[in-house]
Structure 1
Amino acid sequence: MSTEIDQPFVVEEILTIIKEAVEISLQNTVYQHKQVPQWTQSIIDHSLKKISELNNKSYKYIVNCLIFQKTGAGFHTASSCLWDSANDGSCSYRWENKSMHCIISVFGCKI
């Protein structure tokens, strides 16, 4: 991973981090409503910790995590940002198993 202080928002690095966070937190789990707050917090904390280790102090990061049970119901989500597309960035990762879906998004806003 990069260690340069003023680097761009690198989607591939962020995706690697959030995929790892989801796998660590949700691997071999079955949906349990009472566990969702703990799982989402774990995914967010792990993601932010690893993102901070990129040593890119020129960004503020926002991490959003959504976990919901598979019930066959439809679900749609979208986001939009008004920002400097040359410097700011975002990425999302969708994960699922037999009992749940997880969607995690990271937004990086250059300071």
Structure 2
Amino acid sequence: PSIVRLECALRGGPPHLRVAKLRRRGRGAGRRTMEGGNQVQVWENTYIMQPKDEEKFLPSRVSATIERVMNEYFKDKEYSVEEAKNWTLDVSNDIKAAVKELNIPRYKIIVQVVIGEQASQGIRVASKFLWDVTSDNWASYTFQNQSLFAVGMVFGCYYE
């Protein structure tokens, strides 16, 4: 029986552009390198469509992780418009790394952080996703001190 494999190869241009090519192979066929010699190994689908109960994205665990990271990061910070852009990138990466340490298998992790100045204003942060309500979930935490607020949101999307 033939197995359909998806091989992605880099074909010139910027490194972030990838070209996908489907190819049928018979049993025992050897691997051929694509143009340029770059080849990416792609795993076959497991058809596990739902996570096990012990492997689900638990918002309580993730919220505690976001809280720990944000409290550590922002504990001595005062709002600075020049530095806020870098802070969002840094704390987003820190949160993502900490959530990945929770070892939640088969979930794509998306992190969004919003930082603003405390100036007696109101703000509403919203996000919209198309997802499976039985397996996908989200968690958030809001940090506030005298000079700034920061909202950290983590979305976990299950993938097969």
**Interval containing the TM-score (normalised by the shorter chain):** 0.7 to 0.9
The answer to whether structure 1 residue 43 and structure 2 residue 73 are counterparts is no
Q: 2:112 is matched by which residue type in structure 1? A: N
Q: Which residue of 2 aligns with 1:10?
A: 58
The answer to whether structure 1 residue 106 and structure 2 residue 154 are counterparts is yes
Q: 1:44 is matched by which residue type in structure 2? A: S
Query: How far apart, in 2, do the equivalents of 1:11 and 1:74 lie?
Result: 25
Unaligned runs of 5+ in 1: none
Superposition map of 1:1-111 within 5 A: 7-111=55-159
Aligned length: 107
Higher relative contact order (CA 8 A, sep 6+): 1
Query: How far apart, in 2, do the equivalents of 1:76 and 1:54 lie?
Result: 29
Between Structure 1 and Structure 2, the one with more helix by share is 1
Unaligned runs of 5+ in 2: 1-51
Q: TM-score, normalised by structure 1?
A: 0.87
- Aligned to 1:80, the other structure's residue is in SS state coil
Q: Report the alpha carbon displacement of residue 77 of structure 1 after superposing the two structures with TM.
A: 1.8
Q: TM-score, normalised by structure 2?
A: 0.62
Query: RMSD of aligned C-alpha atoms?
Result: 1.6
Q: Report the alpha carbon displacement of residue 20 of structure 1 after superposing the two structures with TM.
A: 1.3
Query: How far apart, in 2, do the equivalents of 1:63 and 1:93 lie?
Result: 12
Higher Rg of the two aligned structures: 2
